[in-house]
Structure 1
Amino acid sequence: MPETSPTHSVESLYNHHHGWLHNWLRQRLGCPQQAADLAQDTFVRVLMRREPVTGTAARSLLSTIARGLLVDHWRRSALERAWLEAMAQLPEAYAPSPQEQQETLQTLEQIARMLEGLRSPVRQAFMLHQLGGLTHAQIAERLGVSSRTVERHVATALLHCYQLRYGAV
């Protein structure tokens, strides 16, 4: 009996479950092209795992990976919509070039991914401080917490970003 390699396992998984996954994603997205892209991304993630998948856990694994990709997709879409709305408010003379817009959007996506591991109050305090330019006292008043709590939240977020960027402290 020949050994089954992880690549063969993914091939079999793809052949048996791709149609189901594509339909599952299409129902959630309403767009067959986006569903096809996310289905392919799901199988790429499975391939990157380099571990064979057992038959009984296949759909569970695929739907878990696909759900994470859906959340990322929706988050990216919301961020892009907000960015485009903000750009639409600018006078044409101040609008960045399409390349600058794309670069800025990619940077915003990277920041969003970095901050997604933080609790909501920490993320909110950090964003108000870094992007909103508010002082700790102003943030404390807005969030209904002490300035010391805001200071801890901002420090926690900075440490989190540093650890993600440089690997460890």
Structure 2
Amino acid sequence: MPPLVDSKMPHAKLHFLYSDHHSWLYTWIRKRLDNHFDAADLAQDTFLRIHSRHNIDKIKEPRPYLATVAKGIISHFYRRKSLEQSYLNYLSTMPDAAASSDEYRLILLQTLEQVDILLDAMPSHIKKVFLMHQLEGMKYKEIADEMGISLISAKRYMKQALIQCLSIMEDDILETT
């Protein structure tokens, strides 16, 4: 494999990385997805992610690096598909009035994806307290007893989860202003 160009411009380096390895990456992803449209999208997403990280100079072995980044993107793709399918299954059980416009469904799917990412980033014990309280409606004392932790710990974990949720909401607000 030819080394990346010595140019100081990251765009030039990205161009050479893309032109030298896009075809290989697309084929690699297509074999894992068995869908050439999704493979093309995810190959593009891989290069966009690399571009957004501004770390092209650090890439010593392009193909293993591209494969590693693509694996994360593929994983995210499957998780989003799973969330979308769960939501569509849920919608199919609702009366027609509850299944609103396509725009509303898209917003809801994006919100579900953000919640999934948020929950995935939480330590397991904090996530468990949050889900027990929010989804199962359990009181802090019940959660503490169920998990074998103190009441103070249950409250502290819930506070940490809520702070994390609020920080995500704050980031979204700042991005839209």
* TM bin (shorter chain): 0.7 to 0.9
* Long gaps (5+) in structure 1: none
**What do the CA deviations read for 1:144-163 (whole angstroms, capped 9, x no partner)?**
43362432321221122234
Corresponding residue for residue 12 of structure 1:
16
Out of 32, 37, 47, the residue aligned to residue 41 of structure 2 is 37
Q: 2-side partners of 1:162 and 1:114: how far apart?
A: 11
**What do the CA deviations read for 1:21-56 (whole angstroms, capped 9, x no partner)?**
112211222211111101001111122233434663
% identity of equivalent residues = 34
Instruction: Decide whether the 8 Å contact of 2:59 with 2:65 is kept in 1.
Output: no
Q: 2-side partners of 1:121 and 1:39: how far apart?
A: 35
Corresponding residue for residue 146 of structure 1:
149
Instruction: Decide whether the 8 Å contact of 1:114 with 1:161 is kept in 2.
Output: yes
Q: What SS does structure 1 have at the residue aligned with 2:137?
A: coil
Q: Count residues in correspondence.
A: 166
Q: Which amino acid aligns with 1:145?
A: G
Q: CA RMSD in A?
A: 2.5
Matched, 1:84 2:88: yes
Query: By how many angstroms is 1:164 displaced?
Result: 3.8
Out of 66, 74, 78, the residue aligned to residue 70 of structure 1 is 74
| Structure with larger RCO (C-alpha < 8 A, sep 6+) | 1
Q: 1-side partners of 2:124 and 2:104: how far apart?
A: 29
Instruction: Decide whether the 8 Å contact of 1:26 with 1:35 is kept in 2.
Output: yes
Alignment TM-score, normalising by the size of structure 1: 0.83
* Long gaps (5+) in structure 2: 1-5, 172-177
Instruction: Decide whether the 8 Å contact of 1:136 with 1:147 is kept in 2.
Output: no
Q: 1-side partners of 2:142 and 2:94: how far apart?
A: 27
Out of 18, 26, 29, the residue aligned to residue 25 of structure 1 is 29
Corresponding residue for residue 46 of structure 1:
50
Matched, 1:105 2:109: yes
Instruction: Decide whether the 8 Å contact of 1:5 with 1:52 is kept in 2.
Output: no
